[in-house]
Structures are given as C-alpha cells and as structure tokens.
Structure 1
Amino acid sequence: MAPLSLTLGYVPGATPAKWARIWTERHGGVPLELRSVAAAAAADAVRAGAVDVALLRPRGDTSGLSVIPLYEETTVAVVPVDHVLTAADEIRAADLDGEPTLLPLDDVVEWVQAPGARIDHRPETTKDAIELVAAGLGVLVVPQSLARLYHRKDLTYRPITDAPSCPVALAFPDGPQSELVEEFVGIVRGRKAGSSRGQAQSAPKRTAREKTLAKQAARAAAGKVARKSGRAERGRR
C-alpha cells in the first residue's frame, strides 16, 4: 500500500519552503508533494482535488473553499535599470501617469483605477510581460515576489507606496478535512508540535491582586508551620 501523502499547490511567487520544512521535521514519513499551479487555476485545482491545499492569491472566485489570509505583498513597478523612475527608492501611483503599462492576462494585482496608459496588447503571462519591459515597451505592475522571481540584470523595480497590496492565502475545500490537511493548517497557523485543538485550554493568567493574595496566603501558611515546629521543639527539651 502506497504511503499517505499531502499535495501542496503554490502559485508563482509564493514561498512554501518554511511550512514544507516544518512538515518534514514533524512528519518525515508522510511525503509532502509541492506542485506549482498557475494563479488563475489555483482555486479550481483545490476544488477539483488536484491539490489538497494551496498557497494562492485570493482573487476571483473562491466559492467552496476555506481561505486563511497569510500575508500582504508590496506592489511594485518593474522598469529598465535606466528608467527615469529609478531616480527614487520608491514611487507613488501618480508617477506612473502617462507611462505605457503592460497588463498580462494572468495579472494578479487588484487595482481598479490603476495608473498608466494601458497598452492594447496583453501578454499571455507575467513572464512574457517581463520580456516586453526589457524591450522597452512599457512598465509592469506586479507583487514584489514576482519581480524577484523573474529578475533580470537589465531590469529593476520600485515599490509603489499608495498601491493596493497583494494578499496571499492558504486555501482548502470547505467542510470536514482529513487529518493531514488539519495538521498542515495547524502548522501554517503556528500550532506547536504535539499540540491539539482538542487539548484543554491553559489556565488563565492571574491578576496582580490574585498573585498578591496568593503570596500572602503562602507566607501565612509558612508562618504557621514554623510556629508549630518551634513549639514541638520546645516540648522535646
């Protein structure tokens, strides 16, 4: 019988390494398969069971899924290294006004009124758009992780301070989960090894007054013991 395993899907730019390492440390006998999925197809992959859980960008339809927000990514503008926008360490949306801006079909930045002059041609992928930026055809707005993923020596990027951030989340099917999925969700949520959602809650912290009263009671009890010991000692003499 083949060993049980868990399949973790992740979209370009997402970094599953931390959680994969923790999984291996705790469940070395249960393989964790990492599978890259396109951003637009990630939710469908979870719903169809192609992956058990996925690190995805919760844009679009997430019906039928439980979604746990993980972190927010900075949105950046990718430009050639000699572009005028590289004069500053960071830019504002207004700095992109009038700039030819590429919008790939797999765009993941939810920016309804994004600045820039949209180019009619839409590259199929972000990677294709990066090639067009390098050719001097326009600017590309992406999450910072994608700018790093497709890094080139002739390109750089600048954070856009007033742009919307790009969320990354963990998604898995709604409803009862397998023990493996529950365990992975617990790891992502920071649950310690050996802990369980079913364990009793730890005792609540005592207030300062309760601590003081407890100390007074302990000192009083110690005094009684000392006095009894003293009387017993005198009685033996």
Structure 2
Amino acid sequence: MVPGVTVAKWTRAWQERRRNSPLIVTPISEAEQIEVLHDGRADLSFVRLPIEREGLSVIRLYGEVAVVVVAKEHPVSLFESVTEAELESEVVRTEDPADAVEVVAAGVGVLRVPHSVARLHARKDVVAVPVSDAAETEIAVVWLAENTTPDIEEFVGIVRGRRPGSSRGPAREEVPTASDTKPVQKKPAQKQGGGAPKGGGKAKAKPAAKHPPKSKARGRKKTGR
C-alpha cells in the first residue's frame, strides 16, 4: 500500500473469515506501486492513480482532497482553503513528504500532497490547508488480470463491502439450499390459510368431519331443545 492508505479494517475482516490464510501488508512508495505486482512481491496493491492500466484489473475505491502543507506561521495557515492561483508564487517542495515536511516546518516552501499523506506526517508546527480548486487524487486496488484467483476475488469483495456469505462462491452454494426449503415453508402456509373461502384443505375436511360423528350431531339437537 502507498503512503496514506489505511487497510486495517479490510485485513481484520479477512483474518476473521480466513484465519488459516494470514496476510502480509507492506508499505511501499508510489514509485514501486505497480512494480511490486510484476516482480511478485505482492498479489494486490493499493495505489494512487493515475497509473498505466495495461494488463491490470483496477477498482477505484475513493478520492482524496488535495492540501498544501505550510509552516504554522505562514499566512496561508490562517485560511480555511486556498486556490491554485494563490499558490503560484510559492516554492513547492518535491522531496519525499517526510523530508519535505521538515523543510516546510522551517519556513522554506510549501508541500502539495493528498490529505491522507499530510495527516500521516502531521506535526504541531505545520498546518494542512485544502486547495479548493485542485483535482482529487484517487486510491484504487489493483492486481495483474492474468493472476486473478479466488483469494484475490474474495479480498476485493471485502474491500468493496461484500458481507460474509454474499461472495460469489458461497452465494452459489446457498441458492440450492434456499430453494430446498421452499416446500417446507409452503406446507404451514396452506394450513394457516385453511380458514379462507379458497382454502382447498378445509373443503376436503368438511365431509370427513360430518359423517363419523352422527351421534354427536343428534346429541346437540336434543341438547338444543
């Protein structure tokens, strides 16, 4: 996963369902976010778009607001948001964010990063201010299309919010089980509906109830008189 991406809730969900298949989660830089798939270091990669998509399966997950990180004493730190035009005169740092924040905190330049990255490197002497007219960056989960496996499909299902039992494999297994229970559900429904005028069960029951207990019927007449 690239910096700023948090996958804990998804990995926890996986471990709850697949206790015998532990995951290894490795932080990587954006420069190697696709390389780790091609060299076999990872089966899945959480990346920051855009990327070259050829040969990849890509599922976009969410967007990130762009922010500018400035020293706490910088005039921009007092704004609720800024525009691209208001940053034109600023020196934008291009170092690794961890190093750039150190320089920015000293009052030299500003740093443009997604909000999650700014949050990752948050400290008391810098402030992150949203850039209101900047395009969002996007986070996606990707893998080599030719290497798609049931495990990958299941994990991607977790990431997309699929509940246990609603994944493709279990869903196919549950369909016949559900259909097998339908006759069992219909029988009590017919009994409960027997009192309705259209109930076939009661129409058959009337002759059976009248013929055997003739003596009881006579008894009721005598009692009534």
Which bin holds the TM-score, normalised by the shorter protein?
Answer: 0.7 to 0.9
The worse-fitting range, judged by mean Cα deviation, of 87-96 and 37-46 is 87-96
- Equivalent-residue separation in structure 2 for 1:64 and 1:134 (angstroms): 41
Aligned to 1:170: 141
Q: Based on CA coordinates, which of the two structures has the bigger radius of gyration?
A: 2
Contact 1:47 1:65 survives alignment (8 Å): no
**What's the offset of the Cα at 1:178?**
2.5
Q: State the AA in 2 paired with 1:130.
A: V
- Aligned CA distance change for structure 1 residues 229 and 23 (closer, same or farther; 3 Å): same
**What's the offset of the Cα at 1:162?**
1.0
158, 161, 185: which one aligns with 1:190:
161
Deviation by residue 1:169-214 (Cα, 9 ceiling, x = unmatched): 0011112423322221121122221233253598xxxxxxxxxxxx
Deviation by residue 1:106-136 (Cα, 9 ceiling, x = unmatched): xxxxxxxxxxxxxxxxx2x121111111121
Q: State the AA in 2 paired with 1:180.
A: D
Q: Within 5 Å, give how 1:23-172 maps onto structure 2.
A: 23-102=14-93, 104=94, 123=95, 125-172=96-143
- Equivalent-residue separation in structure 1 for 2:196 and 2:38 (angstroms): 64
**What's the offset of the Cα at 1:48?**
1.6
Aligned to 1:107: none
- Equivalent-residue separation in structure 2 for 1:230 and 1:195 (angstroms): 44
217, 224, 229: which one aligns with 2:198:
224
Aligned to 1:111: none
**Over aligned residues, Cα RMSD in angstroms?**
2.5
**What's the offset of the Cα at 1:93?**
1.9
- Describe the SS at the equivalent of 2:163: coil
Contact 1:68 1:169 survives alignment (8 Å): yes
- Aligned CA distance change for structure 1 residues 227 and 60 (closer, same or farther; 3 Å): closer
**What's the offset of the Cα at 1:61?**
2.5
Contact 1:22 1:187 survives alignment (8 Å): yes
Contact 1:53 1:181 survives alignment (8 Å): yes
Contact 1:47 1:64 survives alignment (8 Å): no
- Equivalent-residue separation in structure 2 for 1:22 and 1:234 (angstroms): 63
- Aligned CA distance change for structure 1 residues 223 and 80 (closer, same or farther; 3 Å): same
Unaligned ranges ≥5, structure 2: 176-191, 218-225
- Equivalent-residue separation in structure 2 for 1:14 and 1:67 (angstroms): 16
- TM-score, normalised by the number of residues in structure 1: 0.72
Which structure shows the bigger proportion of residues in helix conformation?
2
- Describe the SS at the equivalent of 1:50: coil
- TM-score, normalised by the number of residues in structure 2: 0.76
Q: State the AA in 1 paired with 2:57.
A: S
Deviation by residue 1:49-68 (Cα, 9 ceiling, x = unmatched): 11110111123433322111
Unaligned ranges ≥5, structure 1: 1-9, 105-122, 203-217
Structure 1 runs (4+) deviating above 4 angstroms are 218-221, 229-236
Q: Sequence identity of aligned pairs in percent?
A: 37
